[in-house]
Structure 1
Amino acid sequence: MAKREVDIVIISDVHLGTYGCHAKELLKYLKSIRPKMLILNGDIIDIWQFSKNYWPESHMKVVRRILKFVTEGIPVYYLTGNHDEMLRKFADFNLGTFQLLNKIVLNIDGKKAWIFHGDVFDVTMQHSKWLAKLGAIGYDTLILINSFTNWCLTALGRPKMSFSQKVKAKFKDAVKFINQFEQTAADLAVEKAYSYVICGHIHHAEIREMQSTEQTGSVLYLNSGDWVESLSALEYNDGAWKIFTYQAADFNNDTDDDDTHDTEDLDAKLDVKSLLERFRQEPH
């Protein structure tokens, strides 16, 4: 299958190493594109919840595919998030076309884009990290139960449902948090005279022109969503942004035949599981 040429691809909140991660779907997406630039905007590997007992081959294949982009000379920026915050001590590390950063400002066709994960705006992260980590475990458990429920619903010929979306819709505080998050990002971006502000973190894909609170200007706010529920990415091509949303029907003919051929010795060079376990054990 011919690969789609895309100028810039941004993904976030993949949460590799957790049960909720849709690694197989993400792998199919990554194999379907040839980006000129790939930006991984935080929470790609979930070091918070990482366990040596759960690192499926499908998760390793996603890492291989990303590294394949690097070997092909495609710029890959890994921006740290809260679930992979242990990597922040290694910020500014680079290897070939791969760079590890906390945030980045890019010039995209003459317009400045401010790109970062967004957890800096999360009050829970700043003041009650233990509560945020507990919430992450609860969220992953909810997704796991939701997956089993959807399997049963599909077997019965009934439509799938999203527990977390129902929870967000029921509690006004969740909607209020998302709105405040987006407005805060927009206000700061307008203040800094950026054209785009691009985040992840809240698992809510969005492209929206937003006015600052003081009505002093506007900025295009973008969020790449996640690969736990929405299975979405941001794509920039021919001067325009769009949200890509994974649809299984579009990838029926996908195969894994090239995985072994492309990176047959990668596991020997990069022991990801041992590396992540070391990050978890190091004092913060």
Structure 2
Amino acid sequence: MSETPKKVRTLFLSDIHLGAKASNAGALIDFLREHQAEKIVLVGDIVDGWKLKRHWHWPQTHNDVVQKLLRQARKGVEIIYVPGNHDEFARDFQGRHFGGIEVIDRAIHETADGRRFLVIHGDQFDVVVMNAKLLAHLGDWAYVAAINLNRFIAMVRRAFGLPYWSFSAWAKLRVKRAVNFIGSFEQTLAAEARKQGLDGVICGHIHHAAIEKIGEGVTYVNTGDWVESCTAVVEHSDGTLELVRWMDVLADRETAARVPKLRALPAPETEKAHAA
């Protein structure tokens, strides 16, 4: 772990799902410890109200994430909270501040190089969420089942010394309907940014992290999630946007820690004799 936090201009985080057992809050705390931002934008589904309504689950790590963000706000870090569908209760408090964190339905973020991005969770453009809440809840249940299967697969793979592999991520990229949904979601959000005369959009919701150009030069950015992939988008001081896959960072560190240090080998006897 880095001793000095990495200074960045902005952090974009979404889909943390605090209150859900699948939330990887511990990994997020490590990520926040290693990054010092001037501004943090929470792009929805930070708290999972759907899960908390059915079953209360709030371990210490989830509380630590909240306390960490509140401490950042007290230190002067600008924090904006854009609610999503799982924490839609927060939309009733638009324009208010809680512990220095401002709640707003959508925002316009200007990068250091002058580009302007629409920041929105994205569920407003999901026809299932907007028009068929029951199907949305069933889809959420299926996703949790896939995450539980992931955990079992990960445990088996670790036992055999194999790297992490995600079943649900694999399914998203293999099931035609899921691929079509992701593509349609990206196009719709990019079109909304274009309609508003903006350079791009930063969103969450579908748990599929990406930074890519879509259509007529519109930049589509999805921050991913902290349930499975553990991804965030970082804006550097020059305005460059970087997608950080934190699980890959941790895996690389673990691999590096396992590599034994090479010891200096003694010179061959022939070389010793020649030197003498």
Query: Where on the TM-score scale, by shorter chain, does this alignment land: which range?
Result: 0.7 to 0.9
Secondary structure of the residue that 1:239 maps to in structure 2? coil
Match of 2:151 among 140, 147, 152: 147
Structure 1 or 2, whichever has the larger Rg, is 2
CA drift of 1:106 comes to 2.4
Q: Does 1:127 align with 2:134?
A: no
CA drift of 1:183 comes to 0.6
CA drift of 1:134 comes to 2.0
Secondary structure of the residue that 1:36 maps to in structure 2? strand
* Alignment-derived partner of residue 223 in structure 1: 222
Q: Decide whether the 8 Å contact of 1:19 with 1:140 is kept in 2.
A: no
The TM-score, its normalising length taken from structure 1, stands at 0.82
Higher mean displacement: 119-128 or 91-100 = 91-100
Q: Decide whether the 8 Å contact of 1:114 with 1:197 is kept in 2.
A: yes
Q: Does 1:189 align with 2:193?
A: yes
Could you tell me which runs of 5 or more consecutive residues in structure 2 were left unpaired when the two chains were aligned.
Answer: 255-276
Q: Decide whether the 8 Å contact of 2:70 with 2:99 is kept in 1.
A: no
CA distance in 2, matches of 1:143, 1:19: 10
* 1:45 counterpart letter in structure 2: V
The equivalences for 1:59-98 within 5 A come to 59-95=62-98, 97-98=100-101
How many residues align? The count is: 247
The TM-score, its normalising length taken from structure 2, stands at 0.85
* Alignment-derived partner of residue 106 in structure 1: 109
CA drift of 1:29 comes to 0.2
Higher mean displacement: 167-176 or 73-82 = 167-176
Could you list the structure 1 runs, at least 4 aligned residues long, displaced by more than 2 angstroms after superposition.
106-111, 156-161, 249-252
* Alignment-derived partner of residue 29 in structure 2: 27
* Alignment-derived partner of residue 5 in structure 2: 3
Q: Decide whether the 8 Å contact of 1:103 with 1:116 is kept in 2.
A: yes
* 2:45 counterpart letter in structure 1: D
* 1:242 counterpart letter in structure 2: E
* Alignment-derived partner of residue 265 in structure 1: none
* 2:36 counterpart letter in structure 1: R
Q: Decide whether the 8 Å contact of 2:83 with 2:104 is kept in 1.
A: yes
CA distance in 1, matches of 2:147, 2:92: 30
Higher mean displacement: 197-206 or 90-99 = 90-99
CA distance in 1, matches of 2:141, 2:198: 35
CA drift of 1:52 comes to 5.6
CA distance in 1, matches of 2:229, 2:63: 21
* Alignment-derived partner of residue 172 in structure 2: 168
CA distance in 2, matches of 1:206, 1:129: 26
CA drift of 1:250 comes to 6.6
Change (3 A) 1:170 1:108: closer
CA drift of 1:249 comes to 4.8
CA drift of 1:45 comes to 0.7
Q: Does 1:209 align with 2:208?
A: no
CA drift of 1:68 comes to 1.0
For the aligned residues, what is the CA RMSD? 1.7
CA distance in 1, matches of 2:244, 2:12: 10
* Alignment-derived partner of residue 264 in structure 1: none
Q: Decide whether the 8 Å contact of 1:28 with 1:251 is kept in 2.
A: no
Q: Decide whether the 8 Å contact of 1:186 with 1:218 is kept in 2.
A: no
Secondary structure of the residue that 2:85 maps to in structure 1? coil
Q: Decide whether the 8 Å contact of 1:49 with 1:137 is kept in 2.
A: no
* 2:188 counterpart letter in structure 1: T
CA distance in 2, matches of 1:159, 1:244: 18
CA drift of 1:172 comes to 0.5
Could you tell me which runs of 5 or more consecutive residues in structure 1 were left unpaired when the two chains were aligned.
Answer: 212-216, 253-284
* 1:230 counterpart letter in structure 2: S
Match of 1:37 among 36, 39, 44: 39
CA drift of 1:189 comes to 1.1
* 1:219 counterpart letter in structure 2: V
* Alignment-derived partner of residue 257 in structure 2: none
CA distance in 1, matches of 2:243, 2:65: 20
